[in-house]
Amino acid sequence: MSRETPMTALSRLSERACGVFRADAALSVGVTRNQLARFAKDGFIERMLPGTYRMVAVAPSPEQRLRAAMLWAGAAAAAAGRSAGQRYGLEGVRAERPEIVVPHGARARSSFAIVTQGDPRALMVRTVAGVRTTGVEATLLRLAHLLDDEAFEIACEDARRRKLTSIPALRKYVERHARRGRNGIAALRQMLDALDPEHAARSTLEVKTRRLLVANDIDDFVREFPLIWSGRTYRYDFALPDRRVILETNGRRWHDDASDYEYDNEKWSVPARHGYRIVFATWDKVTRRPQQLITELTATLAA
């Protein structure tokens, strides 16, 4: 039986980590330091961090950089912040550099990655697609510190919409793990107070619309307002029942499905049957002509 070649051993060692491996792990499978030095000189492997290499045949990627940072930082490290948000697929969250967290007292500092320290109990680490990652609530708390208000709301609502967390779960997390002065606590609490406790925004357009309304002192709306017709319940994004006005975001693409087309047309007809006037908030209006939308809504409210 032929013995495995050093390069084959490295390929096998790194295949589950996007082509990344630790030098000490390579030594443990029989690859010598001289062989590592020769492979690096010949361009087969590349040093990314102290004791951490990548197979040059594997294309560089954000995932590869994160895996390298994790291997370098040690078994107790976890993806955090924007890197964790990206692993959960939170809308709009992207990590330019790997962001990881290590336990308090651990020594890990490099310009390659953003490294923070945290209490393992508060981090609620779990495995996401093979990588240790801070829990959703811990991730959102970190993002509350890193992102601007709108970007954070979009990420938070995406997490709620996909049932990754909820307002009660976030409040419980804050009560249990928050300490005065901790980064992100004030921003997270403020966001929790602003969001509808039951209904998460179904799209980025809804988030932008809510923020536009509040910025213009229109905050007496009801989210996911129900109207019933012929035994069927239709829900509308924003309603001001006292003034019989509905504001509906309309950013969805046209569908080829005839039943979906018929449902949309029926839905838009229902408010008038209940004596409501309806205003549409399109992506173009909300993002490019917000004042026009506010003027149109104000005029409808005053009519």
Q: DSSP assignment of 128-160, as one string?
A: ETTEEE--HHHHHHHHHHHS-HHHHHHHHHHHH
3-state secondary structure of 240: strand
Please name the residue that has the structure tokens 């590869």.
64
Instruction: Give the pLDDT mean for 106-116.
Output: 90
Instruction: Give the pLDDT mean for 27-46.
Output: 96
Q: Kindly indicate the confidence band of residue 46, based on its pLDDT and cuts at 50, 70 and 90.
A: very high
For residue 218, the one-letter residue type is: I
Instruction: Give the pLDDT mean for 141-150.
Output: 97
Query: According to the model, what pLDDT value does residue 250 have?
Result: 83
**Cα–Cα distance for residue pair 159/137, rounded to 1 Å:** 10
Decide if pLDDT at 262 tops 80. no
Q: Model-level pTM?
A: 0.90
SS3 for 64-101 is HHHHHHHHHHCCCCEECHHHHHHHCCCCCCCCCCCEEE
Query: According to the model, what pLDDT value does residue 261 have?
Result: 54
Q: Kindly indicate the confidence band of residue 280, based on its pLDDT and cuts at 50, 70 and 90.
A: very high
Q: What is the dihedral of CA 234, 235, 237, 240, to 10 degrees?
A: 90
User: Residue 206's closest CA among 263, 265, 156?
Assistant: 156
**Cα–Cα distance for residue pair 240/245, rounded to 1 Å:** 5
Higher-scoring residue by pLDDT: 108, 87: 87
Query: According to the model, what pLDDT value does residue 112 have?
Result: 96
b/e per residue 59-72 (b: at least 16 CB within 10 A): eeeebbbbbbbbbb
Decide if pLDDT at 115 tops 70. yes
- Domains identified in the chain and CATH numbers: 8-57 (1.10.10), 64-194 (no CATH), 204-302 (3.40.960.10)
Phi then psi for 189, rounded to 5 degrees? -60, -40
Beta-carbon contacts of residue 127 (< 8 Å; ≥ 6 apart): 133
Mean of the per-residue pLDDT values of the chain: 93
In this predicted model, what pLDDT tens digit does every residue of 93-103 receive, in sequence order? 999 999 999 99
Beta-carbon contacts of residue 144 (< 8 Å; ≥ 6 apart): 152, 184, 185, 187, 188, 191
Structure token digits, residue 33: 């330091």
Query: According to the model, what pLDDT value does residue 73 have?
Result: 96
Say if residues 221 and 181 touch (Cβ distance below 8 Å): no
